[in-house]
């Protein structure tokens, strides 16, 4: 009789406005700035047993505002800043398309979560998505998991729009730190 491998739970984190300050079409690694709570928050998720994957829409690539190479440099800088604080990320996935491209990887569609589930044997039903936009928490629901909105970045502006949405976030949290506290309690 074969053994069935246990699937991991994950937290899919938005990048801009959730982990780092949103610089509006960030194309320079020199402008990457972590929120003060990001490294510690991500470490808490990892210590709680979650895979941590960054998922980011980057339509600036398809719009010609920066190149895929620029995007990779920004992501490398982010990973470097986190590593200096002792934080490892399992992966970063990005969607370089705009809404007009109608691709399956652009949040709120679940393409990046499905890729993560395949690459890391993740149970999406036991996973979360966290970000500063309605797209981010809808991504959580569309992947079959749960979505949390943070009020950093564009989150505070998005909070007003939630009332008209059919699907509401599981929680609205001030920062990633508060979201992590919520997720760890909710997952028990």
| pLDDT over threshold 90, residue 6 | no
**CATH number for the domain whose boundaries are 10-186:** 3.40.50.1000
Which two three-digit tokens encode residue 35? Answer: 């929120």
User: Is 14 a residue of the active site?
Assistant: yes
The alpha carbons of the chain give a radius of gyration, in whole angstroms, of 16
- Asked whether the beta carbons of 16 and 153 are under 8 A apart, the reply is yes
Token digits for 80? 């470097």
Instruction: Kindly give, in sequence order, each residue whose CB lies less than 8 Å from that of residue 97, ignoring residues fewer than 6 positions away.
Output: 59, 61, 62, 103, 105, 106
Q: Report domain extents, the chain.
A: 10-186
The mean-pLDDT minimum among 48-57, 152-161, 171-180 falls in: 152-161
Q: For 117-129, give the DSSP string.
A: HHHHTB-GGG-EE
Q: Check residue 4 and give its pLDDT.
A: 59
Note the pLDDT tens digit of each residue in 95-144. 999 988 999 999 999 999 999 999 999 999 999 999 999 999 999 999 99
Q: What is the pTM of this model?
A: 0.95
Does a cis peptide bond (omega within 30 degrees of 0) precede residue 108? yes
Our answer to whether residue 99 is catalytic in this structure is no
DSSP state, residue 29: G
User: Hey, what are 184's tokens?
Assistant: 């760890």
């Amino acid at each position: 009789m074969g053994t069935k491998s246990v699937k991991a739970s994950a937290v899919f984190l938005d990048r801009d406005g959730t982990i780092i300050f949103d610089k509006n079409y960030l194309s320079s690694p020199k402008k990457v700035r972590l929120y003060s709570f990001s490294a510690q928050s991500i470490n808490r998720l990892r210590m709680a047993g979650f895979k941590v994957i960054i998922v980011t829409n980057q339509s600036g690539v398809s719009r010609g505002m920066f190149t895929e190479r620029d995007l990779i440099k920004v992501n490398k800088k982010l990973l470097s800043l986190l590593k200096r604080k002792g934080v490892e990320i399992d992966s970063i996935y990005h969607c370089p398309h705009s809404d007009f491209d109608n691709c399956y990887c652009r949040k709120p569609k679940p393409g990046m979560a499905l890729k993560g589930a395949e690459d890391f044997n993740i149970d999406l039903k036991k996973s979360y998505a966290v970000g500063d936009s309605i797209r981010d928490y809808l991504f959580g629901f569309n992947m079959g998991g749960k979505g949390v909105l943070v009020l950093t970045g564009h989150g505070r502006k998005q909070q007003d729009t939630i009332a008209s949405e059919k699907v509401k976030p599981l929680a609205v949290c001030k920062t990633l730190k508060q979201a992590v506290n919520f997720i760890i309690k909710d997952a028990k």
